[in-house]
Structure 1
Amino acid sequence: MLDHNVVVLGGSLFVWRIYKRLEPCSIPATLLLLAAIPACLVAHVKDQYSSIVLAAISVYATFWISLLLFVVQYRISPFHPLAKFPGPFVCKITKIVVANKYRNGEARAFFPEVHDRYGDVVRIGPNELSFRHADAITSILIKEPLPKGPYYVTRVPKDAYQLDGMVDFAQHAQRRKLWNKAVTPAAIKDYAEMLKGVLADLVRAFEERKGEIVDISAWMGYTSIDFMGHMAYSQSFGLLKAGCDILGLLDAQAKGAEAITWMSHIPWIVGPLMKLPPSGPFKVLLELATKLTRDRIVRGASSKDLFHFLHAEDEPEDQRPSEKSVEADGVLAVGAGSDTAATALSHLFYFFMRSPECKRRLQVEIDSTFPAGEETTDFSQQSDSMPYLNACIRPAIEFDYMPPSSFVPEDTQVSVNIPLLHRDPRYFYPLPNEFWPDRFLNQATYVTPSGETITKEQLVHDRSAFLPFSAGPQNCAGRAIALQEVRAVLCAVLQRFDIEKAEGFDLDDWDRNLKDCYVTHRGPLMVKIKHRILSS
């Protein structure tokens, strides 16, 4: 009879080969490979031990430890396909490091640090590379876009994929057709009427709080979520009128996104977790999505909202998508959709407090476009006739993007770290790390905040590397809606109010408290709202 150690090591090696080749992560496969096979080994070698209990302890310990050693040794060996790529040693062994960085809100500092140390291509996981070079954009996202990898397996609320989690290109294209109908100029014009009502609620709330200290980041969250309620479901959530998050949506969104983000980097744990009943923030979001969807079906709508297009209400009932898929995309719209605008607006008010001259220049442009007493709700002028407004928005939007993740044919996961490109002097110079809206203006000369004058030829501004909404067929579907909302809120607020830093508030806390968690987890941004005297 073969020695028990040889038998156990052989079984462990066999299981490692299965994991290496097939990467099974389902519960039945996990139980079979990690529990049933060792149990068979115990039965095979039990006669070589004094008791069945001792045999079980020895076999399971030897099996699991040797399996772990096989995994580690292969990942750090020169035979691994990614052995030639530099990166932190521990990242070669496990992706838990990166997951923990996201969980602790340290990813924003981690990625610049590793790229500065190791270069433009860094191994950040056993089978994953992070790229910091614009040449990777075309190969990964545009020319022949690579399929999405396991990072997106968490985007399956209610047994139906969200649009951003669909890895099958054909299925994604079919769902994207519905979204494309929802973001045509005609559809966005209907949403603009809904946005006017939200702006009126916001202005009224700020009028009531003149002279008070408020968390403007929270208020931007209330504004965006209320707009998403109107735009997506023809229903107000009432946060602006209440002056607080009466539904607990912001908290649920932040906590849910935080959990999803770190789990996305350890996809093998997602399967078992998905079998558990939803709890905490997931339960809040899923129950709300179900209620909103069913209420909207019963109630109908007087105008074409996002639900109208996602549910294909112009089509026969037998050709409409399932309610579950609409619920899934509803979670996406309310969560990620509201976060994009709320975070960009919060960043902008932060930047304006850091750079008051930028705020003054924007207010001059607003006053010129919308003279005293005139409403700021001509949204076409905001997009077409206000270059400085749009120049301010672009660097604020880019802070809010999460890197995409895909597979290359050799089963290596790759990502283009777009936020790092936006801060790379090879593509944006000078001041790549500073809020300097002028870089987005088309003019012969530019004056930096320090007073230095440079020519257009000296300015480095690579538009192909500026992708705040990603690129290719799976780029952000709601881009135009988010931009319209940000423009509209800025004009409405800055025309009527001066937003100043609250006394005693440290602006550095804003940047320290930011976390990348699929959506952006923001801390408080305390400001004082003051009435602005409009020039005649």
Structure 2
Amino acid sequence: MEAFLDVGRTFAFNLRMVDVIALSSTMIILIPTTWMIYNLYFHPLARFPGPFWHRATRLAYVIKMNKGTLAFDVLPMHQKYGPVVRIAPNELSFQTPQAWKDIYGHRTGTAAGAEEMDKYHTFYRTKGEVLSISSGGREYHAILRRQLSHGFSDRAMREQEPIIGGYIDLLIDKLRERCVDPDVKDPITGKPAPKMLNMVSWYNWTTFDVIGDLVFGEPFGSLERGEYDPWVAAINDSIKFLGIINGVKHMGLESLLIWAVKLLNTGRREHTDRLVKKLQKRINLGVERLDLIEGLLQKKDEWNLSIHHLEANGSSILIAGSETTATMLSGVTYMLLTHPEALRKVTEEVRTTFKSSEEITLTSVSSLTYMLACLNESLRAYPPVPFGMPRQVPKGGSTISGEFVPEDTVVAVWHWAAYHNDKLWTDPFGYHPERYLQDPKFANDAFGIHNPFSHGPRNCIGRHLAYAEMRLVLARLLFNFEMRLAEPDFDWLDHKSYVLWSKPPLNVYLTPREF
């Protein structure tokens, strides 16, 4: 009898296990399926068009982000579905000039008094990290920006010119030293053979040394050594982690997995540790400098800013003021070297405007109108931040480009996609500086949608410094060297984006001019 009962209990247990497994399997299928059906047909954004899997689940978005293709994939979506596309269950991408004003702009005129759209916290904030000018809310940002703005003023730029100009002088000197190989003779001229230089690296070394001095009072020394500081290299190596970190957050797994991502991201840990040490050294200088961080240091005690708050803001300034400027310089260099007529025109403009390299200053480069057109066209063709910088619709919803959008929706204008749509631009994949010189061929282009430094109260605080630095570097290079691609058949633009670009080497031959 007992044996019979044991058999019965075993059978009942196995039956219950089968039921549990069946129920679990059903739930694993049913819950995501139900959620997808809700997203597709009952979600407040269900009326907006978009690809099936992007409307159904955030997973398609995250996969493409981590493949480094999302910035490009948004373009065909707009070409198929129009100026408003649902690229994730809770996110819309817009491609109209008005969308810039409605999403990012100041609340003036008929919009006066309306709540500004805050940054989408899932994208900008990470658990356990203190807020900065980049990630903080509107009031926090406004206070920090007012204090930091002194370092980006016209007066500050004039005082900083010897610092900036000194590093660009050093760049030119080092390029002259390194652009030939003294041990190899050119078989035609008998002179030392040209040596291939990776301009992505040289631009990075220059901009990081400049921003290092303007924030910490000392450079990284990359230009002097002609090699990456380990810290700068670690920052560049961590770009791919931007996609991973944002993917974890977008999928709602931040609390569960962010510790593992941070553990693997050794570059980020090194970055933070080194930055804290450099800031402490800058604070210990005990002297006032009209640089980019002085405004916050003056309020450090009054506002009770910890070293970690200073580190967060110093990090934001460091990345925004170096990596993106180097990216813009890399982009315009490639564009010019693959478009000989534009290169000829801008070179002629520089060499007829200036008689010596010393005449090329932060102020004097502002007269180079064709160069400015070249830079603007490069910023359109190769924006330093190809992604859309997301905002969140406030309570009560908002009207964006004539469309009412419910509260909590994530909205953005995606830079690269918006700048390459043939419904907005004439020959969008071409390179035409004349586009920005009122050439009638391009009169119908949607110039109002081109905002590479963003728009409104949270646009890039350092945009004027970036333009001046780009023009100064490019003018000095064109004045002092002839340039050509070392690998003319290599499509340098064919690379990935993980919020920022993951740039391959841009190998160039430089030939010094003889004066």
**Superposition TM-score tier, normalisation by shorter sequence:** 0.7 to 0.9
* 2:378 pairs with 1:396: yes
Q: Are the counterparts in 1 of residues 65 and 243 from structure 2 also a CA contact under 8 Å?
A: yes
Q: Are the counterparts in 1 of residues 354 and 360 from structure 2 also a CA contact under 8 Å?
A: no
Q: Which of 203, 209, 213 is the matching residue for 1:220?
A: 203
Q: Which of 482, 502, 515 is the matching residue for 1:521?
A: 502
* 2:271 pairs with 1:288: no
Structure 2 letter corresponding to 1:72: M
Q: Which position in structure 1 is the counterpart of 2:119? A: 148
* 2:417 pairs with 1:420: yes
SS of residue in 2 equivalent to 1:492:
helix
Q: Which of 337, 342, 347 is the matching residue for 2:331?
A: 347
Q: Which position in structure 2 is the counterpart of 1:81? A: 44
Q: Which position in structure 2 is the counterpart of 1:190? A: 159
Give, in angstroms, the shift of residue 262 of structure 1: 4.2
Structure 1 letter corresponding to 2:275: A
Q: Which position in structure 2 is the counterpart of 1:449? A: none
Give, in angstroms, the shift of residue 468 of structure 1: 1.0
Q: Are the counterparts in 2 of residues 132 and 418 from structure 1 also a CA contact under 8 Å?
A: no
Q: Which of 351, 354, 360 is the matching residue for 2:344?
A: 360
Structural mapping, 1:99-498, within 5 Å: 99-142=62-105, 143=107, 144=114, 145-154=116-125, 159-166=129-136, 168-210=137-179, 211-250=194-233, 252-267=234-249, 268-275=252-259, 278=263, 279-301=265-287, 303-311=289-297, 313=298, 315=299, 317-319=301-303, 321-371=305-355, 373-383=356-366, 385-398=367-380, 399-401=383-385, 402-408=387-393, 409=397, 410-425=407-422, 427-428=424-425, 430-442=426-438, 446=439, 454=440, 459-498=443-482
Structure 1 residues 170-179 or 340-349, which shifts more?
Answer: 170-179
Q: Are the counterparts in 2 of residues 74 and 80 from structure 1 also a CA contact under 8 Å?
A: yes
CA distance in 2, matches of 1:150, 1:303: 33
Structure 1 gaps of 5+ residues are: 1-47, 447-453
Aligned CA distance change for structure 1 residues 82 and 331 (closer, same or farther; 3 Å):
same
Q: Which position in structure 1 is the counterpart of 2:36? A: 72
CA distance in 1, matches of 2:421, 2:122: 25
CA distance in 2, matches of 1:256, 1:134: 33
After superposition, what is the alpha-carbon deviation per residue over 1:24-72, rounded to whole angstroms, capped at 9, x for unaligned? xxxxxxxxxxxxxxxxxxxxxxxx9569977875665555444333322
Question: Please, what is the CA RMSD of the aligned residues?
Answer: 2.6
SS of residue in 1 equivalent to 2:229:
coil
Aligned CA distance change for structure 1 residues 271 and 386 (closer, same or farther; 3 Å):
same
Structure 2 letter corresponding to 1:386: L
SS of residue in 2 equivalent to 1:379:
coil
> What percentage of residue pairs aligned between the two structures are identical?
25
Give, in angstroms, the shift of residue 525 of structure 1: 0.9
After superposition, what is the alpha-carbon deviation per residue over 1:305-359, rounded to whole angstroms, capped at 9, x for unaligned? 2121232x2x472335332121012111222321221011101110111112212
Structure 2 letter corresponding to 1:287: D
SS of residue in 1 equivalent to 2:478:
helix
Give, in angstroms, the shift of residue 197 of structure 1: 1.5
Q: Which position in structure 1 is the counterpart of 2:183? A: none
Aligned CA distance change for structure 1 residues 192 and 51 (closer, same or farther; 3 Å):
farther
Structure 2 letter corresponding to 1:258: K
* 2:513 pairs with 1:532: yes
CA distance in 1, matches of 2:483, 2:336: 9
After superposition, what is the alpha-carbon deviation per residue over 1:257-295, rounded to whole angstroms, capped at 9, x for unaligned? 322234324422233344456541211211122111111
Q: Are the counterparts in 1 of residues 49 and 85 from structure 2 also a CA contact under 8 Å?
A: yes
Give, in angstroms, the shift of residue 239 of structure 1: 0.7
Structure 1 letter corresponding to 2:326: A
Of structures 1 and 2, the one with the larger relative CO (CA 8 A, separation 6+) is: 2
Aligned CA distance change for structure 1 residues 496 and 404 (closer, same or farther; 3 Å):
same
Give, in angstroms, the shift of residue 439 of structure 1: 1.8
Structure 1 letter corresponding to 2:33: L
Structure 1 residues 99-108 or 354-363, which shifts more?
Answer: 99-108
Give, in angstroms, the shift of residue 432 of structure 1: 2.9
CA distance in 1, matches of 2:416, 2:225: 35
CA distance in 2, matches of 1:507, 1:310: 45
SS of residue in 2 equivalent to 1:499:
strand
Q: Are the counterparts in 1 of residues 66 and 244 from structure 2 also a CA contact under 8 Å?
A: yes
The alignment's TM-score, normalised by the length of structure 2, stands at 0.83
SS of residue in 1 equivalent to 2:227:
coil
CA distance in 1, matches of 2:16, 2:141: 53
After superposition, what is the alpha-carbon deviation per residue over 1:179-228, rounded to whole angstroms, capped at 9, x for unaligned? 22221111122222211121122011101023210111111111111111
Give, in angstroms, the shift of residue 303 of structure 1: 2.6
Q: Are the counterparts in 2 of residues 95 and 265 from structure 1 also a CA contact under 8 Å?
A: no
SS of residue in 2 equivalent to 1:321:
coil
Give, in angstroms, the shift of residue 107 of structure 1: 2.1
Aligned CA distance change for structure 1 residues 376 and 358 (closer, same or farther; 3 Å):
farther
